[in-house]
Structure 1
Amino acid sequence: MSTTPVKPDTGRVLPKEPLRAAIVVGAATVLLYLVELIDVILPADLDLNGIVPRTLGGLDGIVWMPFLHGGWPHLLSNTLPFVVLGFLVFANGFGQWIAVTATIWIVGGVGVWLTGASGSVHVGASGVIFGWMLFLLVRGVFNRSFRQLAVAVVLLAYWGTMLFGVLPGDPGISWQGHLFGALGGVLAAWMVSVANRQAGKAAPAVPS
């Protein structure tokens, strides 16, 4: 009798539970549209609750920024990458999706709060989107997965130009959110690869 260590499937490219992934990402997308609808219907100026750099009152905008958008065109432009990338990040389950998204959310938000222009208000889910994009682009390198690298090539071919958004340009676009969201995605990919290696070493052996 021999034993074979059970290792996590670190090279997955599609969710193990596609229906659950679709429901979670779909619900998150619907929530974004509901918030924008409420912002339009009510004279509440919800967009003012985004991140206001280096102000105590604007610190809670780190929580609210991804839910808020500067109008329907802004939200519509974010919808397709939000749905597609969010679904792909679900490859290794809900727990990892939450961990990756939270890392991107926090790193991106804190980065904006620290470096954004004084007096500006930052809103939008694009920071999370950039983080998901970079996570998907670099995870194959950390995991040494050909399948994930192949997906990265496809994403680069389709959405590669969006990466220029991490550079300063239009003053009406939060390049800081893009940049620090992307850095959060790289950090999340590295953290996941470390966790996977540790899980592989600690995996129990099963008889074969």
Structure 2
Amino acid sequence: MKQQEHFKFSTGVVAYPVFFVLIIWLVFWFEVRFGFNFSKYGIYPQSLKGLRGIFLSPFIHGDIKHIYHNTIPLFVLSIGLFYFYRPIAWKVILFGILFSGFLTWCIGRPSYHIGASGLIYVLISFTFFKGVFAKHYRLIALSLLVVFLYGSMIWHTLPIEKGISWEGHMAGLITGVLFALFFRKEIAKPKKYVWEQENYNEDNDPFLKHFDEDGNFVESNEPEIEQEQTKFNYIYKEESKDGE
């Protein structure tokens, strides 16, 4: 896949993350406005009824502090995802919700697990390891930015604080790594120079035909090379005039 197909700004880069975050806030507003509590629709591990939380839990939050702390990283990381990995962005989000949710259902404590933090850890993990695997300066820079902004969140994948679903965070982290490996072929790679390509042949290089084995410039009667040669001579003469 061509690099420009990845690094291309479009209205969806911002519109989709805004839409996703807006739905989360609308659900929270509905709870507060009409006095509902949707926590019972979260993930409840090892329970058939708790399976519905895999689909619903990312849209449910306990209080204003919970939803606020999830909104900003979700919005920022989603924008980065849709900008740098637009062709697979929806796959990462939708399957990220499913896989991380199911893993939380498998390993979680017998309690309701709610919030979009599992998806956030999917995006953090995916973005970081994808950039490392790509070996592309833009994606590596994005990975370093993610580490700078959210690197401290790695501690929340451990049971160090009560009331936090560290299992959901761990599930998201693992899912992100797996996605980075699975979608390796979708990684935008830096454009290679001609001589770095596998099918490169020195004998067919039009530039090298201008020079002999000792590196001296030679004349040529071939139309393509003659055209390049005329251009080369013109540039050389112009530079010589400037140097006088």
TM-score, structure 1 length as denominator?
0.84
Aligned: 1:22 with 2:14: yes
2:62 is equivalent to residue 70 of structure 1: yes
Take 1:127 and 1:10, find their aligned partners in 2: how far apart are those partners? Answer: 30
Post-superposition Cα deviations, 1:46-71, rounded to whole Å, max 9, x if no partner, equal 12100011011111100001000011
Q: Deviations over 1:160-182 (max 9, x none)?
A: 10111111122300011111111
Tell me by how many angstroms 1:93 deviates. Answer: 5.5
Q: CA deviation at 1:94?
A: 4.6
Residue 82 of structure 1 corresponds to which residue in structure 2? 74
Matched residue, 2:144: 153
Match of 2:30 among 22, 31, 38: 38
Letter in 2 for 1:56: L
CA deviation after TM superposition for structure 1 residue 95, in Å: 4.2
Aligned CA distance change for structure 1 residues 196 and 82 (closer, same or farther; 3 Å)? closer
Q: Does 1:134 align with 2:128?
A: no
- C-alpha displacement of 1:106: 1.6
2:135 pairs with 1:144? yes
Task: Provide the C-alpha distance between the structure 2 equivalents of 1:127 and 1:103, rounded to a whole number of angstroms.
Answer: 12
- Whether the aligned pair in 1 keeps the contact of 2:62 and 2:114 (CA below 8 Å) is yes
Which position in structure 2 is the counterpart of 1:185?
176
Equivalent in 8, 23, 34 of residue 2 of structure 2 = 8
Instruction: Please say if residues 103 and 184 of structure 1, whose CA atoms lie closer than 8 Å, have aligned partners that are also in contact.
Output: no
Q: Which residue of 1 aligns with 2:49?
A: 57
Task: Give CA-to-partner distance per residue, 1:92-140, whole Å, 9 cap, x none.
Answer: 565411111123212210111111112x000000110111011110102
State the Cα deviation string for residues 140-197 of structure 1 (Å, max 9, x = none): 2222212211121122112210111111122300011111111111111122213459
Alignment check: 8 A CA contact 1:165 1:175 kept:
yes
Over the aligned positions, Cα root-mean-square deviation in angstroms equals 1.9
CA distance in 1, matches of 2:4, 2:157: 28
- State the secondary structure of the residue aligned to 1:170: coil
**Structure 1 residues 128 and 10: alpha-carbon distance in aligned structure 2, compared to 1, 3 A threshold:** farther
Structure 2's unaligned 5+ residue stretches are: 189-244
Residue 162 to residue 93, structure 1, CA distance change in 2 (3 Å): closer
Shift of 1:43: 3.1
Match of 1:116 in 2: 108
Contact 2:132 2:143 in 1 (8 A): no
* CA distance in 1: counterparts of 2:89 and 2:9, whole angstroms: 12
Given that 1:135 and 1:188 are in contact with CA atoms closer than 8 Å, whether structure 2 keeps it comes out as yes
2:154 maps to a residue whose letter is: L
The one-letter amino acid paired with 1:66 is: P
In the alignment, does 2:95 pair up with 1:103? yes
In the alignment, structure 1 segments of 5+ residues that lack a partner are 1-6, 198-208
Aligned residues: 188
What secondary structure does 1:60 align onto?
Answer: helix
